[in-house]
Chain A
Amino acid sequence: MSASVLYDAPGPKARARNRVLAVVGTLAIVALIAISVMRLEEKGHLAYEMWDIFNYAGIRQNIADAILATLKAFGIAAVGSLVLGVLLAVGRLSDHKPVRWFATGFIELFRSIPLLITIYAVWVGFLTDYSMWALAIGLSIYNGCVQAEVLRAGINAVPKGQREAAYALGMSKTQVMTNVLMPQAVRAMLPTIISQLVVTLKDTSLGFIILYPELLQTARLIASNTQVNGQYPYVSTIVVIGTIYIAMCLVLSGLANWIEKRGRRAKTGISPAEAEAVVLAGDASQAVGTTILGGPGSDRGGSTGN
């Protein structure tokens, strides 16, 4: 059901009413923004000097370093979570009971504990002096579990005939998994996997709490070390750094959507999952098994988890 089914094509009266509502709604939003801007102006947060600090070479260098630090933690966590995800997914589908139980237990445990708790425990327990590794390892563990569930859903969505045909050709279990099932699962789940990578990128901001000098921590440092007009420029730094963060996440989710659209054009194979489905770090056992609803891809047999 598309949205337009919910209301009739507007006649002259409805059109007039809609126009009035539109104006009122727009005015309300504009008024809210205007009040915010005025209040900020009143407190001196919009003064030229507050924003001029981003012209200083030192602060620019700080921000560049911070972006690099964020990307470094993200890179390690992305690779780590994907590797762990493949291992755990294969482990959970293994024929050996102990392996299966271990993988299931690991996934269920770490997926239901807040990521921050895990990161903090790794930081305090093992890597107090290496906050980047604590962050990257914590992210890898948590997101690895989520990616494992995504991949498992993908593998289960591969038609049964594929596996049977591969076994009939005399392939070993490993060969079936690596040559037949995994490639199709990855292809189908690519948008979801990338969406989870967006979550990983967003979650690098937790480095703020374990004092890893990524973007947010740098923002805090800049804001608390620079004094302008007798005030700390929290507002301007948070706005600038926030914009950078959101831009990075938007680029990555744009990539996910693009791949999804591209994959949908192709006629072969199982259709790719929806990128949007998984953006939240959630409990996959709830969502796996229920197809994510609606949209052009809802006819596929697979399912996605959070």
Chain B
Amino acid sequence: MNVLLDHFPEFRDGFIGTVSITVVSTVIALVLGIVVAGFRVSPIPPLRFFGAAWVTLLRNTPLTLLFLVAMFIVPEILFPGMSAFVLGSLALGFYTSAFICEAVRSGINTVPLGQAEAARSIGMTFSQTLRMIVLPQATRTVLPPLSSILIALTKNSAIAGAFSVTELFGWQTLMSEQGYAIAWIFVWVAAAYLVITFTISGIFRLLERRMEVAR
């Protein structure tokens, strides 16, 4: 009980840290995921190959390894001195983008054939077809898998805590090092994560209902 009351400021910081890394890497993952999904269905073979390689590689890499790469190799190549938060969000965003790409691609596959054929027959180009016809219609079917991907992203963000990003797992290790009982720490951290994940699934349920009306 005491562990939360005694260290509420740290807990609040951790909670805010988890939420912000989740939001930042969600944005990165969504942008990259949709772009790479576009690559994977594009008429240009090297881009298709690049998309496939991207997905295969990132999906079969342990996230912890990706964090190691981000923390140790990326600063050597790009600008040194990026904060752990930025590097962590990049690792998490890149990792999740592979899953979002696959979700979007299977969403594209559920749009009826006639839609794209009609778009082509009125002379739309590939990017127009994708942007104006196919992707908006794919959104509806992409939403449920997207929600579980984002919940997974929230949970994966815990790993960032082990790489000196301020978030909830960092609070857990800090408190247990200070000798508080792990059971209560676990309860509070779990509750905080439940709040975040329930919020995400709530938002998506809302979105799904909206989309259903639009049908």
Chain A residues in the interface with B (C-beta under 8 A): 1-3, 5-8, 10, 14, 18, 21-22, 25-26, 29, 35-36, 39-40, 43, 45, 109, 112-117, 120-121, 124-125, 198, 202-206, 208-209, 216, 219-220, 234-235, 238, 241-242, 245-246, 249-250, 253, 276, 279-284, 286-287, 290, 292-295, 306
Contacts and interface: CB of A to CB of B under 8 A. Distances in A.
Interface in B138-183: 141, 144-145, 147-149, 151-152, 154-159, 161-162, 168-169, 172-173, 176, 182-183
A238 B111 contact: no
A228 B176 CA distance: 36
B209 interface: no
B155 A113 contact: yes
B30 to A, nearest CB: 15
A250 B189 contact: no
A121 to B, nearest CB: 4
Contacts of B155: 112-115, 281
Given A219-B68, A238-B73, A293 B107 contact: yes
7 contacts: A22-B47, A26-B46, A205-B64, A206-B64, A216-B65, A235-B72, A235-B76
Range of interface residues on B (Cβ < 8 Å): 35 or more
Nearest to A44: B76
Prevailing SS type, chain A contact patch: helix
Contacts of A280: 99, 148-149, 152
A283 B201 contact: yes
Contacts of B144: 286-287, 290
Contacts of B110: 1, 293-294
Nearest to B177: A124
A7 B72 contact: no
B136 interface: no
Given A121-B182, A286-B144, A7 B120 contact: yes
B83 interface: no
B159 A245 contact: no
Contact of B197 (A14, A43, A125, A283): A283
Given A1-B113, A117-B193, A294-B109, A246 B57 contact: yes
A21 B148 CA distance: 35
A63 to B, nearest CB: 15
